[in-house]
Structure 1
Amino acid sequence: MPCLYRHVQISLHERRGALRRPSMARITGSHLICKALKLEGVKNIFGLAGDHILPVLDVMADQDFRIIDTRHEQAAVHMADAWSRITEQPGVCMYTTPGFANAIPGLTNAMHTEGPVISIAGCADTHDLGRGAQQEIDQVAMAGPMCKGSFMVHDARRIPEFIARAMRLAFSGRRGPVHLTIPIDVQEQSVEEDEIVLTNPEAYRAKESVLAAPELVRRAIAVLREARKPLVIAGSAAGYTLSGDALQRFIEMTRLPVVTEEQARGLISDDHPYAFGFFERG
């Protein structure tokens, strides 16, 4: 009995100690969305407010985000698309579940213009998914054909991971939009702050253009030398820059005629002696 009594005393002491232990700082999914976007330098949010994204908009309203509330979700995507291509920064747009349906044409256009757009939509609580609650639609499947990636976030702890993944995917290779669905209860979910991993963008995506391998450059030069009537067609990828200096140096060094299309328009003046106007596919 003395041993059992001592064991009970120790157990009670441990429980009291646990109750007195200082609680860890907690953070909500909405705050994590803001933190992850700020790491990427995002300040402007294009969208249309509604129930499915109110938790995160409430947090953003208290911070230094600039929320541009549009009259239609498609317009929000077009604005984010233009912003991303003109500034070389991610264009973020946000809307409700039915609002996401309105955004589809804008996302389709962003895919063709190669704009690094991050589409974020709210939806019903995770335990209500599959019941048709709150105008539920399969956002992830709908976004798939017109986005480089489409994902649903089921746990607030993974919000920074998914936003980082979306950013990297949007800017890598041929650029384009990426969609994230974040349910209301995930936006409101409270988690221990020490469980969260926030990664600097420089650790998971290149901020500057990646140079081609020297061997591939030598092969390209060899092909050019053998060409009889070479013509440079500068496509949208040539416009992944704020300046056309590199393209202009290239054509002036090689003395090759150049035509431009889409995002490359304007990189070189139409008055340049080697510029031959706009190239139209199909």
Structure 2
Amino acid sequence: MKGAELLSNLLKEYEVNYIFGLPGETSISLYGEFKGVHVLARDERNAVYMADAYAKLSFKPGVVEGPSVGSIYMLPGVAEAYKSSTPLIIITTDTPLYGEKVNYLTALDQSSLFKPITKETITVTKADEIVHAIRRAFRLSTSGKPGPVHVRIPSEVLESDVGNPELKPQKEFSRYPSQRPVADFQMIQRAVDMIINSNGPLIICGQGVLYSMAWDEVMELSELLGIPVGSTITGKGCMPETHPLSIGVVGGRGGTSFSNNIVENSDLIILIGSNTDSANTDKWKIPGRDKRIIHIDISEAEVGNNYDSLNLIGDAKATLRVIIDVLKSKGVSKKSVDLRGKDEFEKRVSELAYERRDVVNPLRLIKELWNLAPEDSVLIADPGVGAIYTSAFYKAKRAGRYFVFNYGLGGLGYSIPASVGAYFARPNSLIFALTGDGSFGFSAGELETVKRTNANVVIILFNNGSYGWIRAEMRLLNRDVVGTNFSSVDYVKVAEGFGLSAFRIEKDEDIIDTLKKAIKSTPSLVEVLIEPEDKFIPPVAHWIRSLKKSSNVKFIY
């Protein structure tokens, strides 16, 4: 067989049902082999975003391919996957390997481009190496701290004959987590002693809890000890937020005065699967570095990286199971935790949701969306209004991966292409892509992909006529607002031009009926007119601190 056929057969062995990408001259030999599984995108970066969301929601590594000329356009998506630990297999085809030295058109040093933002980059020099390369890619991508792996295959290798391979696929690495190492037992015993001796412990879950599928253990530990659970924005879904012990999102993005106050008053923080980055922790203020912390993570690079903590290196689900068993063997009693402020806070939020604005109140929209969306809906949100209001005020109805945020790097333009990957991962679920007019400019072309695939997607486009986040940063730093505003665009007509059902919401009274219409007529787009973030401030911790200095503030989240 040819190298291209061997590659296709291998991917089938690894249960690859979809390959996201777009065609190029160096990849032509692949497309006959990928027939039936190839999902055509309109931009290489967006193809990676599709694979990224697919991986997050399917618990299988996402597979994306690109030609040599498109490899450079894949980099933003790969960097996001690397920073957010998404398992991806990135296949790029290439010119003859010596091509860059003789100025072969589209030739460049792909390996050097991908090396800093992947777990490994592998160059295949002959067809007989394809099996070894794909085995290694899947094993690396799904083991330990997951992440993207790059495989570079020249076109002449794909077109070469290959004999019977000596190695076979390692099918146990077709899903993640492929292995579940448990933290050292002595460290677990020390952690248990710290938990027993604490008065007000708190669990904070990062995205690693979702990658590990550890939500059952999180809830069991919480209920066993009667202790509250919060999450970072990317860990949202670690526990149903309708549960009486859930405090919602904490930290600098989506954390509220209620949830962050619980963090402040806790005497022990149990951090699970969090890389403790600057955004999630509000630059290491929530929790502060004076806190007693137990940190559980699969990555030796992340545990104790930013805090002086007791570090347990292991899979979250497997390690929590041992911790729970040890606690049960000791006959522990429940802690006494004061969450009485929760009802008062939620009352204030409800009042604010019905506050009249000149255009649509985004908090009201999120509340109505929560009422209308099926329980198994998937919400994908770009940074900005969609992500912050969703994380803070759209309560997770069940535990599991139902929310996707691209806060590895936080670049714009993620949610629309990601909604396509989400649709292929969860074809029976309703997908909501919450984007902004700033993000829309990055990914508008993928409306054609949404329509062509007939994806069960509702795009909610918040239109504030600007890069609203940057406007707010400038305003709150007492700087001149420069270079953030857009000219007027009719997004309804744009969406209709791509063949989508399209609607506009200009006032709160139209929210419910319009959302119902959009849900019934997918794929669809709903343009929502709102104010920029500097005029209606969302819960962003450092903005709220700045506002507290003003006597004109009516409400602090």
Deviation at 1:95, TM superposition (A): 0.7
* Correspondent of 2:94 among 123, 139, 146: 123
- 1:201 has 2:175 as partner: no
Map 1:41-60 to 2 at 5 A: 41-60=15-34
* Correspondent of 1:90 among 53, 61, 69: 61
How far apart are the structure 1 equivalents of 2:179 and 2:250? Answer: 27
How far apart are the structure 1 equivalents of 2:102 and 2:227? Answer: 61
Equivalent AA in structure 2 for residue 251 of structure 1: S
Question: 1:251 — aligned with what?
Answer: 222
Does the CA contact (< 8 Å) of 1:157 and 1:196 recur in 2? no
How far apart are the structure 2 equivalents of 1:173 and 1:108? Answer: 18
Q: In 2 relative to 1, CA 209–274 (structure 1 residues): closer, same or farther, beyond 3 Å?
A: same
3-state SS of paired residue (1:120): strand
3-state SS of paired residue (1:191): coil
* Correspondent of 1:137 among 108, 127, 137: 108
- 1:32 has 2:2 as partner: no
* Correspondent of 2:74 among 87, 103, 119: 103
How far apart are the structure 2 equivalents of 1:174 and 1:144? Answer: 17
The structure number with the bigger radius of gyration is 1
How far apart are the structure 1 equivalents of 2:136 and 2:177? Answer: 13
Q: In 2 relative to 1, CA 262–90 (structure 1 residues): closer, same or farther, beyond 3 Å?
A: farther
Deviation digits for residues 203-249 of structure 1, max 9, x if unmatched? Answer: 89963534444444223212322445422121111011457222211
* Correspondent of 2:149 among 163, 178, 183: 178
Does the CA contact (< 8 Å) of 1:70 and 1:76 recur in 2? yes
Equivalent AA in structure 1 for residue 172 of structure 2: E
Deviation at 1:88, TM superposition (A): 0.3
Q: In 2 relative to 1, CA 263–32 (structure 1 residues): closer, same or farther, beyond 3 Å?
A: farther
Does the CA contact (< 8 Å) of 1:87 and 1:242 recur in 2? no
Q: Which runs of 5+ in 2 are unaligned?
A: 252-279, 284-557
Deviation at 1:45, TM superposition (A): 0.4
How far apart are the structure 2 equivalents of 1:206 and 1:103? Answer: 25
Give the TM-score taking structure 2 as reference length. Answer: 0.43
Map 1:54-93 to 2 at 5 A: 54-61=28-35, 65-93=36-64
Q: Which runs of 5+ in 1 are unaligned?
A: 1-26
- 1:161 has 2:132 as partner: yes
Does the CA contact (< 8 Å) of 1:73 and 1:100 recur in 2? yes
Does the CA contact (< 8 Å) of 2:222 and 2:229 recur in 1? yes
How far apart are the structure 2 equivalents of 1:174 and 1:214? Answer: 20
Give the TM-score taking structure 1 as reference length. Answer: 0.82
How far apart are the structure 1 equivalents of 2:38 and 2:85? Answer: 23
Question: 1:147 — aligned with what?
Answer: 118
Equivalent AA in structure 2 for residue 47 of structure 1: G
How far apart are the structure 2 equivalents of 1:82 and 1:260? Answer: 20
Equivalent AA in structure 2 for residue 198 of structure 1: K
Equivalent AA in structure 2 for residue 165 of structure 1: R
Deviation digits for residues 155-199 of structure 1, max 9, x if unmatched? Answer: 211111111111111112221111111110111111222x44223
Question: 2:519 — aligned with what?
Answer: none
Does the CA contact (< 8 Å) of 2:14 and 2:169 recur in 1? no
3-state SS of paired residue (1:130): helix
- 1:268 has 2:242 as partner: no
How far apart are the structure 2 equivalents of 1:251 and 1:156? Answer: 52
Does the CA contact (< 8 Å) of 1:31 and 1:59 recur in 2? yes
Which of structures 1 and 2 has the larger relative contact order (alpha carbons within 8 angstroms, sep 6+)? Answer: 1
Deviation at 1:86, TM superposition (A): 0.5
* Correspondent of 1:235 among 186, 190, 206: 206
Equivalent AA in structure 1 for residue 32 of structure 2: D
Question: 1:8 — aligned with what?
Answer: none
Equivalent AA in structure 2 for residue 137 of structure 1: L
How far apart are the structure 2 equivalents of 1:151 and 1:279? Answer: 39
How far apart are the structure 2 equivalents of 1:154 and 1:247? Answer: 46
Give the helix-richer structure, 1 or 2: 1
* Correspondent of 1:224 among 195, 204, 211: 195
How far apart are the structure 2 equivalents of 1:127 and 1:101? Answer: 18
Q: In 2 relative to 1, CA 273–229 (structure 1 residues): closer, same or farther, beyond 3 Å?
A: same
Deviation digits for residues 21-69 of structure 1, max 9, x if unmatched? Answer: xxxxxx21111211221121101000011111111222222xxx41110
How far apart are the structure 2 equivalents of 1:36 and 1:210? Answer: 27
Instruction: Single out whichever of 196-205 and 85-94 deviates more from structure 2.
Output: 196-205
Does the CA contact (< 8 Å) of 1:140 and 1:152 recur in 2? yes
Does the CA contact (< 8 Å) of 1:126 and 1:185 recur in 2? no
Deviation digits for residues 81-113 of structure 1, max 9, x if unmatched? Answer: 011110101100001112111111111111122
Cα-Cα RMSD: 2.1
